[in-house]
Structure 1
Amino acid sequence: MTHPASNQRADRLRSMLGAEGLDAVVLSHPHDVRYATGYHSILERWGQQEPVAAAIVYADPSKPLTLVIPEANLGIVAVLNRDGPACSFGEVRSFEMLNFCEVSRYIDPDRKGGQLAEDATALADLIKGECQPNIVDAVAVALADHGMTGKTIGFDEPRLSQKIEPRVAHSYRDALDFMVRVRVVKTPDELTRYRKLGKLADRVIAHAGSVLHEGADWNDVQARICDFMVRNDVIPVDDGAMLFGGAYEDDDFIPDLFRTQGNRNLRRGDIVILETQGIYDGFWIDINRTAVIGKPSDEYQRQHDILRDAFLMMVDKLRPGVSTASLPEIGYEHLKSKGVPTPEKLLVVAHGIGIMPLEIPLPYPSAGLHGVKDGFVLEEGMLVSLDSLYFGAKLGPCHMENVYAITGDAPESMYAAPLELIVAGETAEAEPAE
């Protein structure tokens, strides 16, 4: 088992430090730690505000990529790297977490060491310094050892900078916006991994369509989709598995920004927004299609096809140098030209996607109105999710969303699922998990 001192993500991050005037960046948000090193554990899912791991990336390539974790979690690194260098670093700095580490040091005479114990022991040469009482001390010692006193250091967590200051005097810089800009352009390895995810996303959306039928209970539909995702190593967005674009009140579809609970079983003619979201291999699935229970009316089918054509016209503009701010007008003008009522009800959002579902390379707060109105300029290597939702009142809503890799030529779709209306039958057979 090998542990390379770097990886494509860390190399990209390091290459951008100089332009920011940074000598190093200290990362303690789970997204950023995973980005720089590949490290992640179940502890991050606890949602603690206090960080449970960190990574340090130095502008000087002769300095090691540093992973800072609880000593007891060395076994997790070994597990991550069983099938290859998923977790990459040049050195490990360890710290205590509660009393887990103290307890783990005691040898159980009745337990024989296995391959995992051997793999964890093999990390010994990469562990530098003594185990520190906490994460702050571990980061401070690492920075001091690598001559960072008096240097300009970026942090994605200001509290960590404040706690370190008495021990390692430095010039603090906020690295939040910087890290989003780093992550929004993908490395070749990330694009390869997302293509694999795209095939799985296609299966998830196909399964979602297959469990829809007249009389189906919406909560049961969501549970079946959630079960399918979990059985295929996808972590659902939550226990509902999907973002449902509205709910039915009697016979009226009431659009909602995100999920609302349906209060009756699905009926023939109902429109269902299928937006399956989840995490696979550290990346977000975000695929959206529209389904109808039973044969759609000719008018609704035409409306959906007009929206699809508008969507494809916007996709054609996904090229390097184009601003995402120009896309909504393209969709609006097409719907208007085809006589679609209130084309102003078309919502178009283009956003980066990867470790987070929304990676918008604009200054914080990027999720406000300027994230769409100002937009951002596309660069080769970006992964961009194009989300198009028409909140049509007369015939009902239409929604579709795809992820595209921005290339020097035409954009590459990460999903192969057709952009066509899904017509759900009266009965359905669930697709088996693989």
Structure 2
Amino acid sequence: MPSPHQPVPFTADDYRARMTRAAEAAEAAGLAGVLVAPGPDLVHLTGYQPVSTERLTLLVLKAGQDPVLVVPTLEAPDAEHAVGAPALTLRDWTDGKDPYEVTAPLLDTGGRYGISDNAWAMHLLGLQQILPTTSYTSLTEALPMLRAVKDAHELDRLAAAGAAADATYGEILKVRFSGRRETDVAADLAALLKRFGHSQVDFTVVGSGPNGANPHHEAGDRTIERGDMVVLDFGGLKHGYGSDTSRTVHVGEPTAEEQRVHDIVREAQKAGCDAVRPGAACQDIDRAARAVITEFGYGERFIHRTGHGIGVTTHEPPYMIEGEELPLVPGMCFSVEPGIYLPGRFGVRIEDIVTVTEDGGRRLNTTPRELAIVE
């Protein structure tokens, strides 16, 4: 058995089941099949993670047929070593040959396919040229649930990533903030994420004082001062699955207004988390959090959606935003992260990753959400 620090490894059977579900979902959606380019969809479906280049790599999935991975010959050895390789057939092509001619016999003339959103335009144009009557649509729009629902082993990895992010937050509260640059604290966050098992750090937002009013502020050379509110938002990948959490801290004692704004965001974040349950629409989470902030008069200062999905990437569908009526089902994982941003002054954001359970929601981040005082 794996140790508590090592996840249960995915098997070829796991990937075979994922590819089968994707092909069947495509058929149910009226598509001839699914075309998957290098990127998160390919990682999720096969465990293979090649670099996306001008050389065509494409997974072809069709209901009732064996999956086929079109791959450059010089990259075939790597593809053969992917965990999911036994569940598919490789069809390689050598430099000097037309990869679209190799791919064309795998597709139905006149068929409509869902294709990865991050497929290179040159590859899509190549397919369109050789099969002019075949059409394509966004895979995310056609199959929004492709990666949205996580199995038990995926949830374990997300929980481990969340726990590592929580441990990072616990340690960052011990460092000195005042008199140091934002980039110094960001470097501390990155080092801590690595210490607690992350293989990849995707972002370390440190928004001090007025910079906190920019939700995606890149840590800069501003020196953090006593009296600053500081927004921390950090995450990355551990065991191939994402973490993403936000907390807001204060250097020294806050003013009454700063404390009040933080309390409002904390109440809004709780309302968003409390709204999570099977059958609720994604937009219901946004509405619940936004209603609290609007009630207290800061509605115009909540300037982004309430959340986004997370899995093999730190940002992916589904999105908790007005107009998204996709219903929540057990196994979905996403952020709940309302905020208030006062330009030129300060910002506040609180974020947890939440997974949908059979009867509600469970937070994968458990650190205190009260306004922490740092030095």
**Which category of TM-score, normalised to the shorter sequence, fits these structures?**
0.7 to 0.9
Amino acid at match of 1:90: L
What is the match of residue 342 of structure 1? Answer: 298
- The answer on 1:89 being equivalent to 2:62 is no
Amino acid at match of 1:377: L
| TM-aligned CA deviation for residue 397 of structure 1 | 2.4
Q: For the residues of structure 2 that align with 1:2 and 1:322, how far apart are their CA atoms?
A: 33
Q: For the residues of structure 1 that align with 2:318 and 2:211, how far apart are their CA atoms?
A: 34
Secondary structure at 1:269 match in 2: coil
Amino acid at match of 1:171: T
| TM-aligned CA deviation for residue 16 of structure 1 | 0.5
Q: Is the 8 A contact 1:306 1:335 kept in 2?
A: yes
What is the match of residue 293 of structure 1? Answer: 251
Q: Is the 8 A contact 1:319 1:378 kept in 2?
A: no
What is the match of residue 120 of structure 1? Answer: none
Q: For the residues of structure 2 that align with 1:253 and 1:150, how far apart are their CA atoms?
A: 52
From 312, 327, 337, the equivalent of 1:355 is 312
Secondary structure at 2:205 match in 1: coil
What is the match of residue 243 of structure 1? Answer: 205
Pairing of 1:138-153 with structure 2 (within 5 A):
138-140=102-104, 143=106, 148=108, 151-153=111-113
Q: Is the 8 A contact 2:277 2:328 kept in 1?
A: yes
Structure ID, larger Rg: 1
From 13, 21, 36, the equivalent of 2:45 is 36
Deviations 1:366-400 (A, max 9, x none): xxxxx733123332122121111112479842211
From 315, 328, 339, the equivalent of 1:379 is 328
Secondary structure at 2:359 match in 1: coil
| TM-aligned CA deviation for residue 180 of structure 1 | 3.8
Amino acid at match of 1:310: A
What is the match of residue 116 of structure 1? Answer: none
Cα distance change of structure 1 residues 422 and 372 upon mapping to structure 2, 3 Å threshold? same
Amino acid at match of 1:234: S
Q: For the residues of structure 2 that align with 1:5 and 1:206, how far apart are their CA atoms?
A: 35
Cα distance change of structure 1 residues 27 and 349 upon mapping to structure 2, 3 Å threshold? same
Amino acid at match of 1:271: M
Percent of matched pairs sharing the same residue = 23
| TM-aligned CA deviation for residue 198 of structure 1 | 1.8
Deviations 1:286-321 (A, max 9, x none): 211111123334553344233212211221111122
Secondary structure at 1:182 match in 2: coil
Secondary structure at 1:274 match in 2: strand
Q: Is the 8 A contact 2:32 2:111 kept in 1?
A: yes
What is the match of residue 231 of structure 2? Answer: 273
- The answer on 1:55 being equivalent to 2:59 is yes
CA RMSD of aligned residues (A): 3.3
Q: For the residues of structure 1 that align with 2:60 and 2:232, how far apart are their CA atoms?
A: 40
Amino acid at match of 1:316: D
What is the match of residue 21 of structure 1? Answer: 30
Amino acid at match of 2:213: P
Structure 1 unaligned spans of 5+: 98-131, 363-370, 426-434
What is the match of residue 407 of structure 1? Answer: 357
Cα distance change of structure 1 residues 353 and 66 upon mapping to structure 2, 3 Å threshold? same
| TM-aligned CA deviation for residue 204 of structure 1 | 3.0
Cα distance change of structure 1 residues 180 and 38 upon mapping to structure 2, 3 Å threshold? farther
Secondary structure at 2:334 match in 1: strand
Amino acid at match of 1:172: S
Secondary structure at 2:44 match in 1: helix
Amino acid at match of 2:178: E
What is the match of residue 5 of structure 2? Answer: none
From 338, 343, 362, the equivalent of 1:388 is 338
What is the match of residue 331 of structure 1? Answer: 289
Q: For the residues of structure 2 that align with 1:409 and 1:56, how far apart are their CA atoms?
A: 37
TM-score (norm 2): 0.81
Secondary structure at 1:200 match in 2: helix
Q: For the residues of structure 1 that align with 2:362 and 2:247, how far apart are their CA atoms?
A: 18
| TM-aligned CA deviation for residue 13 of structure 1 | 1.0
Cα distance change of structure 1 residues 254 and 424 upon mapping to structure 2, 3 Å threshold? closer
Amino acid at match of 2:351: E
Q: For the residues of structure 2 that align with 1:162 and 1:204, how far apart are their CA atoms?
A: 45
Secondary structure at 1:264 match in 2: coil
Amino acid at match of 1:33: L
- The answer on 1:76 being equivalent to 2:78 is yes
Pairing of 1:135-214 with structure 2 (within 5 A):
135-140=99-104, 143=106, 148=108, 151-156=111-116, 157=119, 159-160=122-123, 162-164=125-127, 171-176=134-139, 177-214=141-178
Q: Is the 8 A contact 1:316 1:411 kept in 2?
A: yes
| TM-aligned CA deviation for residue 410 of structure 1 | 1.7
Amino acid at match of 1:155: I
Q: Is the 8 A contact 1:32 1:179 kept in 2?
A: no
| TM-aligned CA deviation for residue 30 of structure 1 | 1.5
Structure 2 unaligned spans of 5+: 1-9
Q: Is the 8 A contact 2:248 2:348 kept in 1?
A: yes
TM-score (norm 1): 0.71
Q: For the residues of structure 2 that align with 1:211 and 1:87, how far apart are their CA atoms?
A: 46
